[in-house]
A and B are shown apart, each in its own frame.
Chain A
Amino acid sequence: MRALLTLLSLVFLGALNASAQDREDIVLTGGPALRFMEHGKGDVSHDVYWFNFVDASVIRLKELKDQAKPDELVTWLIYRPAYAARSKEMGMDLLAQLQDKAKTLGVRLVWFNSKDELIAYLNRGLDRDKIKIGDFDYFGHSNKACFLFDYSNTIDTMSIAWLHVKDLGMIHSDIFASDATCKSWGCHSGEMYSQWWKNHFGVPMTGAIGKTDFAHGGLPQLSNSDGKWAE
């Protein structure tokens, strides 16, 4: 009987704790190309370093963890197939390394394998009536119309997993907090994606006009002097 009461108490306290969580911060990380696909492309060769997006994501996740209130969730969404394929190519277990990084950071790691799985998480991964997204950051390949979670990993210079501006309509428009901050660190998002984002979700998303550069080891920077961040 005592054990049952203890269990019920834990469930009750857990429910209290869960109900106190009303915000989730999300970092969304796309995958690298395979070197097989990018070999011989000279200075336009993508993703020589396999964790270019990951290292930048980790920096942002640390910032979010430092800023987060005790009851605020920080979630790391990673496109798994690209890292599994790169692991196979390199003979390294990148997936285990990603799990270790998430554990060290103290963030929730959520793998996704497709656009549909990503959308399902954003819509229903948590109770969106109660837990709104307070911060959103994207690190990965992109053009102005698309987030490309897979790029040059399955098919040379193409993608089999992406989120096009026309796909945004499949995501519930009320998943963000009214004061949410959103940013795409990929290239060209500020040229189109940001506008479609604002129109659909009602919150701004900062994006780059021009290219961004992940090669400096920190958060990405604008590649060109005439580039800028826009909403």
Chain B
Amino acid sequence: MKFTLSCAVVSGALLFSTTALRAQEAVYQPPSGQTPPVAPPLIKGSPLDHLANDPKLAEPSIGYREGHTEGDAPWIAHRLIDEQGGQGWGWVKKSGDDWGSAKWIALQESLGLAVAPHRKLLKADGDLNWEYKFWGKFASYKAYDPRMDEQLPVFVLQGYEVIGPAAPLDIKEGPPGRIQHRPSGASSRSSNPIQSGGGGID
């Protein structure tokens, strides 16, 4: 849900205040008379602190590594933006396999270890059609994309290395169910789609 101006102020205080950094208390006591309460100071060195305050790049740095990257990379990943509005990250395939075997994935970041490469960029699509070596595994559960009313396999990212930009792939983005879709009453691609307003979620 969208928040009011007061929330925006709170957010700004949370995200951009570098002078108020201090140790956290076990139980936060909000100031009296304020609703909603002011957020506690940003934890220095936390993933959110790095996200909010680290300098951003225009594009990934080739060869950059993050997280656990020991041994040969078991996976190769190709970043792609879903033009239909889905929130899938891109394609992941086993190293050595062809792209026809790739899976369209939801990327689960491991905060404090390895986060999505685009977190370091000025724009979230700044690594469109870039490729990476991925370390990690597929989760036993799936993710639900509320904008598309579809489920995606979850890749839990534990480390990555930037390979570099690549030619666009000649495969249609999205999970197999989308490509072979048959209309149903609960689908975003029926005559009455899930998407509405700001993505249909709140």
Contact = CB atoms under 8 A, between A and B. Distances in A.
A223 B26 CA distance: 35
Contact of B48 (A35, A43, A93, A217): A35
Interface stretch (B65-73, B140-148, B161-169): B140-148
A43 B197 CA distance: 13
Contacts of B179: none
Contact of B144 (A45, A46, A158, A187): A158
Contact of A158 (B3, B48, B116, B143): B143
Contacts of A7: none
Interface residues on A, range: 35 or more
A36 interface: yes
Interface in B135-174: 141-147, 149, 152, 154
Given A211-B197, A215-B2, A215-B7, 10 more contacts: A40-B51, A48-B8, A48-B11, A91-B24, A92-B26, A143-B200, A155-B143, A158-B145, A187-B200, A192-B186
Contacts of A151: 146, 201
B143 A160 contact: yes
B14 interface: yes
Contacts of B24: 90-92
Given A49-B10, A93-B26, A157-B147, A211 B1 contact: yes
B129 interface: no
Interface in B164-202: 185-186, 192, 194, 196-202
A174 B11 CA distance: 44
B102 interface: no
A35 B47 CA distance: 10
B43 interface: yes
Secondary structure of the A contact surface, majority rule: loop
Nearest to A53: B1
Contacts of A217: 35-36
Nearest to A100: B27
Secondary structure of the B contact surface, majority rule: loop
For the complex of A and B, the 8 pairs showing the least CB-CB separation, nearest first, are A91-B24, A187-B202, A49-B36, A158-B143, A157-B87, A159-B144, A92-B28, A48-B7
Contacts of B197: 187, 210-211
A188 interface: yes
A148 B186 contact: no
Contact of A186 (B111, B144, B202): B202
Interface of A: 34-36, 39-40, 43-52, 55, 89-93, 96-97, 141-146, 148, 151, 154-160, 162, 164-166, 186-188, 191-192, 196, 210-217, 223
17 contacts: A48-B3, A48-B8, A48-B14, A48-B39, A49-B7, A91-B40, A143-B149, A151-B201, A157-B146, A158-B144, A158-B145, A160-B154, A192-B186, A210-B196, A211-B198, A215-B7, A217-B36
Contacts of B51: 36, 39-40
B91 to A, nearest CB: 17
A24 to B, nearest CB: 28
B36 A146 contact: no
A52 B4 CA distance: 12
A212 B144 contact: no
A169 to B, nearest CB: 12
Nearest to A114: B141
B15 interface: yes
Nearest to A217: B35
Contacts of B109: 155-156
Given A157-B87, A158-B87, A52 B14 contact: no
A158 B149 CA distance: 10
Contacts of B185: 192
A52 B2 CA distance: 11
A213 B28 CA distance: 25
B80 interface: no
B18 interface: no
Interface in B34-65: 35-37, 39-40, 43, 46-48, 51-52
